[in-house]
Structure 1
Amino acid sequence: MPVILKLLTAALFTCLSLAAYGEKLRIVTEPWAPYVYDEQGVMHGLDYEATVIVFQRLGVEVQWQFLPWKRCLAMLEQGQADGALDIFHSHDRDALLLYPSEPLSEVEFVLFYANARPHLARRLDDLQGLSVGTSPGYLYGAPFSDSTLFKREPAPSHEANFGKLLLGRIDLVITDRRVGQHVIKAMGLEGMVSQAPIVISRQQQYLAVRRGAGMDLLAQRFAAELKRFKQEPAYAILSEKYGAIPDITASGHTVEQQESSAQ
């Protein structure tokens, strides 16, 4: 039997086995606008909508659940979830998770500061003695996570981090460039918060699934269909819908986004 036919047959059996037991693929994620978020009870986002379309084409039904990211990781480890949306690849998770070869998107972690207390950090050394708001369970890259130059203070949500920033309880917030701009706009903080020049890291986001019977083949089929969808006009329209928001700088001018590169 040709290899491609074997893959198609195995993926079909995986889908049929889920349907036979009346089960849906249980996917967990944390609100991460504009990649995935809930708006008045309706889920939206670039990566969410792309994933929905891909699974529809594969004939796989999905049950979605929004949780704090640390809880998402715990549910994966405990077998209470089948996969996670918008997760970074970590070799520490390879024994537990399968990552499709095609990423959903790429994030760029940057720092934001309150205009009333500017910190124009251009390198990690500039953060010495400062406190940076983080999100539990997020991977920012070893240079940032292992540094002893500054304090890392977790908060339960991105909104909470920006609230602490405005109150002066922390000096900076680290998050994805587009996510930060989305939160700033949603909270009405334009003119109050700006982005520092430094780029902490760039990382690709995936739809990862727990290892199990048929899951490796499902991951391969997901990657192939996602890659195919990305080449269609429908994906270009979706990407434009959730395109990057111009950066907010201390001077009020727009700066160009640096060229992305996978780590």
Structure 2
Amino acid sequence: MLFALAIALTGCGNAYPAGLVLVAADSSPTAYVKDGTPSGILVDVVTEAFRRTGERFEVQVMPWARCLAEVRSGRVDGIFSVFKLPERNEFLTYTNVPVITQVLAFFVPADSDVKFDGDIGKLGGLGIGTIRGTSYGLKVDSALKTGVWSTVVETNNVDNLVGMLSLKRIDLAIGYRHVVLDAARNKGYLDKIRELSPGIDEIPSYLAFNKQHDYSKVIANFDRALTSMKDDHSFEAIYEKYLGPKAGH
């Protein structure tokens, strides 16, 4: 199901007077639907940035694989948030200031004796769960493609991933800290899983636009607005609203 949030902003500098259409993956706490309306950390960040630029836009929340398909085809203007990957450079133009830095980590059942010392290869004998169509950065994506894990179970969303891990249907799950822990908390599974330390990577993630049109003015304005949000601490305040004081981002 698709949910949309339309933001009508007044401003004489709109590059796209009819309004931009942006898509975001349905993944709490970054972008999700609450009372029929898109909400979440990144929805709030993007909304405030475009409020400052005066750009009209709407957000549609949908599964991640569909988000990528929609922006690749040009049916929507932009997508958030995405990593900079070589294969995406063919169809995406990125903003320059990240909307989030994702902390990538492994998770195991709470009573698992698995340990992690930073060497991904040592976990190769375990069955791993992933979310279909999701990139986990160059290091992990390469490991998945080259068959480091003999058993890979793909799920459609983080709720399914956390559920499978808590029920021990998989030995290991990979995901973004905020997203996995939030899903576990909401589903009552927080005491059934644990995060392996150290984390795998910290990856900046961006708002990006399709390459079928020129969004250079939108991007420049968005970058300025997002930088101003970081300078005046409103960016940090949005994160703290959802994650508590001194939340990492």
| Counterpart residue number, 1:185 | 185
| Counterpart residue number, 1:149 | 148
Amino acid in the other structure paired with 1:218: V
Amino acid in the other structure paired with 2:242: Y
- The 8 Å contact of residues 105 and 204 in structure 1, kept in 2 or not, is answered as yes
Following superposition, the deviation at residue 40 of structure 1 comes to 2.4
| Counterpart residue number, 2:29 | 34
Amino acid in the other structure paired with 1:149: V
Aligned equivalents of 1:67 and 1:129: distance in 2?
A: 33
Task: Report the CA distance shift for 1:244/1:121 in structure 2 as closer, same or farther (over 3 A).
Answer: farther
Residue 68 (structure 2) pairs with residue 80 (structure 1): no
Q: Secondary structure at the match of 1:242?
A: helix
Long gaps (5+) in structure 1: 1-10, 247-256
Residue 126 of structure 2 is aligned with which of 123, 127, 130?
130
Identity over aligned residues, as a percent?
Answer: 23
Trace 1:37-48 onto structure 2 (pairs within 5 A).
37-48=32-43
Task: Report the CA distance shift for 1:137/1:244 in structure 2 as closer, same or farther (over 3 A).
Answer: farther
Aligned equivalents of 2:115 and 2:40: distance in 1?
A: 31
Amino acid in the other structure paired with 1:128: G
Aligned equivalents of 2:198 and 2:170: distance in 1?
A: 18
Task: Report the CA distance shift for 1:142/1:239 in structure 2 as closer, same or farther (over 3 A).
Answer: closer
Deviation per CA, 1:99-125: give whole Å up to 9, x if none: 111111100110111124342222213
- The 8 Å contact of residues 166 and 189 in structure 2, kept in 1 or not, is answered as no
Point out the structure with max Rg over C-alpha: 1
Following superposition, the deviation at residue 212 of structure 1 comes to 4.3
**Number of residue equivalences:** 233
- The 8 Å contact of residues 129 and 173 in structure 2, kept in 1 or not, is answered as yes
Choose 153-162 or 211-220, whichever is displaced more.
211-220
Aligned equivalents of 1:12 and 1:94: distance in 2?
A: 31
Trace 1:94-113 onto structure 2 (pairs within 5 A).
94-113=89-108
- The 8 Å contact of residues 72 and 92 in structure 2, kept in 1 or not, is answered as no
Long gaps (5+) in structure 2: 1-10
- The 8 Å contact of residues 130 and 171 in structure 1, kept in 2 or not, is answered as yes
Residue 218 (structure 2) pairs with residue 226 (structure 1): no
TM-score (norm: length of structure 1): 0.81
Aligned equivalents of 1:224 and 1:142: distance in 2?
A: 28
Deviation per CA, 1:61-90: give whole Å up to 9, x if none: 212211111111111111111100111111
Residue 84 of structure 2 is aligned with which of 89, 96, 105?
89
Aligned equivalents of 1:228 and 1:137: distance in 2?
A: 33
Deviation per CA, 1:241-261: give whole Å up to 9, x if none: 123699xxxxxxxxxx8xx8x
Following superposition, the deviation at residue 192 of structure 1 comes to 1.2
Q: Over aligned residue pairs, what C-alpha RMSD do you find?
A: 2.3
Residue 46 of structure 2 is aligned with which of 51, 54, 59?
51
Aligned equivalents of 2:226 and 2:35: distance in 1?
A: 27
Following superposition, the deviation at residue 195 of structure 1 comes to 0.7
- The 8 Å contact of residues 140 and 200 in structure 1, kept in 2 or not, is answered as no
Q: Secondary structure at the match of 1:29?
A: strand
Choose 109-118 or 141-150, whichever is displaced more.
141-150
Task: Report the CA distance shift for 1:144/1:214 in structure 2 as closer, same or farther (over 3 A).
Answer: closer
Aligned equivalents of 2:77 and 2:245: distance in 1?
A: 32
Task: Report the CA distance shift for 1:110/1:244 in structure 2 as closer, same or farther (over 3 A).
Answer: farther
